[in-house]
Amino acid sequence: MAQDAFQGVPLRSALGRVRGKGSARGGTHHWFMQRVTSVALLPLMLWFTLSVATLAGASHAETVAWIGRPVNALLLLASIALAFHHTAAGLQVILEDYLHKEWPRLVAILLAKGACWLAAIAAAFAVLRIAI
């Protein structure tokens, strides 16, 4: 498919080709969203790491009480969504870099994305079950 795109007279300008924006105008979207999620995750991860550190050795009741506090539940849900988006994006880039055959690459990326989706939903479900 990529070969065919170069056959014959190119109908797109060199600038358009370099920008990589097709009809969806999404050339840098994946890359950009990885940066956006990373900026959002900075304060969330500081909060999460330090909070969880204070939960070391906590009993089940103490842990559930902490997760169930509305502010903590809200920030946990935000962290889960952003962290798994960021992870899925990162894993995809790694798989794209190291898997050169199209089918294994496609299957691996879909599996990684599916696993991230399921894990994120499971984590959010657990938080909601405790908090609500």
Q: Is 109 in the site for other proteins (CB under 8 A)?
A: no
Q: Is 42 in the site for other proteins (CB under 8 A)?
A: yes
Stretch near other proteins under the rule CB under 8 A, chosen from 3-11, 19-27, 99-107:
3-11
Q: Is 57 in the site for other proteins (CB under 8 A)?
A: yes
Q: Is 94 in the site for other proteins (CB under 8 A)?
A: yes
Q: Give 108: exposed, middle or buried? Use CB within 10 Å, 0-12, 13-18, 19+.
A: middle
Stretch near other proteins under the rule CB under 8 A, chosen from 19-27, 52-60, 102-110:
52-60
